[in-house]
């Protein structure tokens, strides 16, 4: 989880250091931010891109429960994984955290294994939610820039996190390489064509398509967008596309 950014919120420096050490030494995290209470956490959340929040319940100024309720009302972080650390293990507190949208509840004191397990469960659950994609699309064509040429394909489904494309297989396609991608959208809402580029993405899955007489060596490739590399203009166009597809076409499917 090298590229995942964490925010650790606890008024106890010892706990903050223990959690930071777990994230850095066991998960390889390189982006770990800390705050001593909920108010400091909100300032960091407004200023930084945070993927996972790990917060104590009992803190001064703003406790973990109030922080959880506040961010679940925000557009930016309403779906961000939130792990609550607490010595309050009674049913009333656990149920309150669940009702307010906590992702995982970890009782203090906890082991590094327990915290790591909670992180993985929260992250995997968030990715499954984010991987709901839009299919039954109007015609979208995609071009992937390899070291030697551009490879053309068509989009099968797409979301904010990535897309599934179909194209003729080439040995130039390598899993986990970062590619520059051009996406052509044809006549969206009768407004004319739209070009979204450069999108940056990493192939994470490559599947051979059953061959036929007209489609030899065809494959489907799952690409996860590298959103940190995307220009704000590109993000805006992608958001606009997905908003319109959600309104006008597309069946929701789950990416397994």
State residue 157's pLDDT score.
Answer: 81
Is the pTM value of this prediction over 0.75? no
Strands 82-86 and 52-56: parallel
Coil, helix or strand at residue 7: strand
- The rounded distance, in Å, linking the Cα atoms of 106 and 89 is 9
Peptide bond into 109 cis (omega under 30): yes
DSSP state of 190: G
Task: Kindly state the percentage of the chain with pLDDT values over 90.
Answer: 23
DSSP state of 102: -
Task: Kindly state the percentage of the chain with pLDDT values over 70.
Answer: 82
CB 103 within 8 A of CB 83: yes
Lowest model confidence (mean pLDDT) among 74-78, 88-92, 190-194, 234-238: 190-194
Average pLDDT, the chain: 81
State residue 127's pLDDT score.
Answer: 56
State residue 254's pLDDT score.
Answer: 32
Q: How many CB atoms lie within 10 A of CB 251?
A: 10
**pLDDT (tens digit, 9 = 90+) per residue, 175-233?**
888 999 998 887 555 556 788 899 999 988 888 876 554 556 888 888 989 888 999 99
Closest residue by Cα to residue 27 from 130, 127, 129, 115: 115
CB 249 within 8 A of CB 137: yes
State residue 175's pLDDT score.
Answer: 84
Domains and CATH numbers, the chain: 5-130 (3.40.50.2300), 140-248 (2.40.10.220)
State residue 98's pLDDT score.
Answer: 83
**pLDDT (tens digit, 9 = 90+) per residue, 122-132?**
877 665 554 44
Chain CA centroid to CA 170, Å? 28
Q: How many CB atoms lie within 10 A of CB 215?
A: 11
């Amino acid at each position: 989880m090298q590229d995942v950014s964490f925010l650790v919120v606890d008024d106890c420096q010892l706990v903050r250091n223990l959690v930071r050490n777990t994230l850095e030494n066991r998960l390889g995290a390189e982006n770990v931010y800390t705050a001593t209470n909920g108010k400091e956490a909100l300032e960091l959340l407004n200023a930084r891109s945070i993927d996972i929040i790990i917060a104590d319940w009992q803190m001064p100024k703003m406790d973990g429960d109030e922080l959880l309720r506040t961010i679940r009302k925000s557009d930016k972080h309403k779906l961000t994984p939130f792990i609550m650390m607490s010595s309050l293990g009674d049913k009333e507190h656990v149920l309150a955290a669940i009702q307010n949208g906590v992702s995982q509840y970890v009782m203090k004191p906890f082991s590094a294994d327990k915290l790591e397990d909670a992180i993985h469960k929260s992250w995997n659950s968030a990715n499954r939610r984010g991987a709901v994609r839009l299919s039954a699309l109007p015609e979208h064509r995609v071009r992937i820039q390899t070291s030697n040429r551009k490879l053309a394909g068509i989009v099968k489904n797409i979301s904010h996190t990535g897309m599934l494309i179909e194209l003729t297989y080439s040995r130039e396609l390598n899993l986990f390489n970062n590619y520059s991608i051009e996406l052509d959208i044809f006549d969206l809402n009768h407004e004319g064509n739209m070009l979204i580029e450069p999108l940056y993405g990493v192939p994470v899955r490559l599947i051979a398509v059953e061959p036929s007489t007209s489609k030899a060596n065809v494959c489907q490739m799952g690409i996860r967008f590298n959103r940190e590399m995307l220009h704000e203009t590109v993000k805006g166009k992608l958001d606009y596309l997905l908003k319109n597809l959600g309104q006008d076409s597309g069946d929701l499917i789950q990416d397994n």
